Chain A
Amino acid sequence: MDTVSSLIFSAVTIMTPLLLAATGGLYTELTGMLNIGIEGLMLLGAFSSVVSLHFTHNIVLAILIGTGSSMLLAAVIASITLYLKANVFITGLAANLFASGITTVLSFHIFANKGVVTFPELPQMPVLFERGTEAVPVLGPLLFGHTFFTYLSFILLFLSYVVLYRTPFGFRLRATGLYPKSLISVGLSPKRYQFIAFLISGFFSAVAGAMLSVNLGAFVPNITAGKGWVALVVIFLGQKRPVGLLIASFIFGISEAFSNYAQGIWHIPSDFILAIPYIFTLVAIVFYSIYDYNRQKVE
């Protein structure tokens, strides 16, 4: 593959977990809750799915266990936030702290290892439409030859669009964020929709995390490495719309793919490479807020 194709190809691989997590976060964001806990939900999902894959050798069961555990944590965040009236930002941070603690503690308990746990016996994730990658320029690496997680992320994004914009449930969910009292006035509970949104976010984040660890065939401490935060930024940059999420996450994917490529060429220290997503996100957020500020001034 030439440079451009391989850049696009790795951009899609990088953007998949971001897109998944951001799609899940879109639900909570639309109900007016800032879900800081995406990072922790992803981390817990990554850990529990790869560990259960190691013990069961069944990918469907592994993802079920992974999503189940993340949804449980999401339910904890949501119930404390909504029913004990806690600050959603702080409960989210707590979830992140809890996830990083519990994964390390359990990894030490099960494998007697706090560092990288590799599972060499796990099979490689099958790649779909492999022959298309090189056959079609630009669109080939964009669409073909990825693992099923990538296709799942596209399907789930489309489904989310349908659910959010074409069903009564989605309408009510979005109304919760815009004006919660409107739900009360028709006899519905906004808290219930916020709770469901958190569960959905837990599910999506867990799938995103599962992709990271299962593709790697290993669990690395803090494997999510800020991806949950980037997913939040993707939501803001994507202007809280499904198509926007797709574009924003691709921008992140291509920028990270490029910085990985640059590292190989110019021998930039790895710490700088790790810092690039944060700096890039910062610049994107600042530009977005300038744009938003000027737009509001015009209105």
Chain B
Amino acid sequence: MNKKIECYNPVIYMLRSMVGLIFIVFVSLVALVGFSYYLSETPDKTIYYFFNGPFLSLYDFGNMINMAVPLIIGGLGISLAFRSGSMNIGGEGQLYFGALIATLTVIALEPLGRAGAVIAIFVAMMSSGILAGISGVLRYRWNTNVLITSFLISNAVVLIVNYLITGPFDDPLTNLFSTQPIPETAELSYILPPSNLNTSLIVAVAAVFIIHALMYRSRTGFELRMYGDNPRFAKYAGVNVMYYQIMPMFVSGAMYALAGSLSIFGTYHATIKDFSSGMGWNALAVALIARYRPFAVIPAALFFAYIESGARSAMLYSDVTFELSSIVQATVFFLVSSVTLQRLGLKKRRI
């Protein structure tokens, strides 16, 4: 008898499936150390601040967590969309656009106070959802490539938002290119002063549970995953194709808008030009590292925030530029989708 009955132990399986991920993180950090030695006059200092910077003070630590919040929310939307096969890569534009809409709406609804803020977030989510939904509709109607349309729409929207911020909605009272500040009643309260960490963290954690329930504990989620795994099979099984081509796009766009408007209400208090540059891509990377599982999105987002804030403090205290973080992130990006690396710790399947 050659066949062995393998015991399936979920804990061991999980640990084994982590091996590849740990390897990827390790490689990216090696890349970081290598580049630091090449680029920096004081590599020891660079590396010290890169790794320890986020933990040196309560301020840095809180800011790191705060940086993870929009990545978690955006990453959740992308997890849902990518799991259903909707490749929404227009996050940059959807987030930026949502943030601007939220800011303008909340300023217009100032007399309503807190309710105005809630309405503003809702309006922002709807408008970015529609922005992303256009790609879904085009895909349903004429089979247009979502990847390309969402990217192109997003790039155009970023430029148009830039125009609106620097032109018609520019606040002449500040030196920055930014809109007017939002009313103080709409600002979220801080949890960990002096850092920027605010109550949007609670929204992010709640969103994890909601998206998890939607994806793995509901009929919609089941059909969504089925459509993502095999669209043709799902079609023959009677799944509503139109719904699962448009809804995931809409939800991911709306989640990006939520991420954008919460960072306005919690951190920036006005839409500043290019405040969200890179956030959309990072949220996408977070979803990929988490392999579209909502609970894994939190550690993945924290990892990305850690790299970003590490790079920030290395830039402050040493002689490297902030863009060092994008090299580390690119290394992760390069390796994260590799099937070979993902199965590194797992036993080879016998076929």
Contacts and interface: CB of A to CB of B under 8 A. Distances in A.
Given A105-B39, A278-B152, A289 B326 contact: no
A282 B87 CA distance: 16
A90 B144 contact: no
Given A84-B340, A97-B326, A272 B160 contact: yes
A62 to B, nearest CB: 22
Contact of A76 (B138, B160, B334): B334
Interface stretch (A64-72, A152-160, A225-233): A225-233
Nearest to A36: B147
Given A76-B334, A86-B338, A286-B149, A293 B324 contact: no
Contact of A80 (B144, B153, B335): B335
A168 interface: no
B327 A105 contact: yes
Contacts of A292: 142-143
Interface string B145-185: 10111011101100110110011000000000000000000
**Secondary structure dominating the interface of A:** helix
B288 interface: yes
B35 interface: yes
Interface residues of A, number: 44
Contacts, number: 128
Contacts of B89: 93
A285 B166 CA distance: 30
A285 B335 contact: no
Contacts of A233: 148
Interface in B197-249: none
Interface in A87-120: 87, 89-91, 93-95, 97-98, 100-102, 104-105, 108-109, 114
Given A100-B326, A282-B152, A285-B144, A272 B159 contact: yes
Contacts of A93: 89, 281, 333
B152 A98 contact: no
Given A282-B149, A286-B138, A105 B333 contact: no
B335 A86 contact: yes
Interface in B319-343: 320-321, 323-327, 329-331, 333-341
A76 B138 CA distance: 34
A90 B336 contact: yes
A278 B156 contact: yes
Given A98-B327, A229-B151, A104 B334 contact: no
B326 A98 contact: yes
B303 to A, nearest CB: 16
B339 A86 contact: yes
A279 B156 contact: yes
10 contacts: A91-B334, A95-B330, A100-B323, A102-B327, A229-B155, A271-B160, A282-B149, A285-B152, A286-B144, A290-B142
Given A97-B326, A98-B327, A286-B149, 17 more contacts: A80-B334, A86-B334, A86-B337, A93-B333, A94-B333, A98-B326, A98-B331, A101-B326, A101-B330, A105-B35, A269-B167, A272-B160, A275-B155, A282-B152, A285-B148, A286-B144, A292-B143
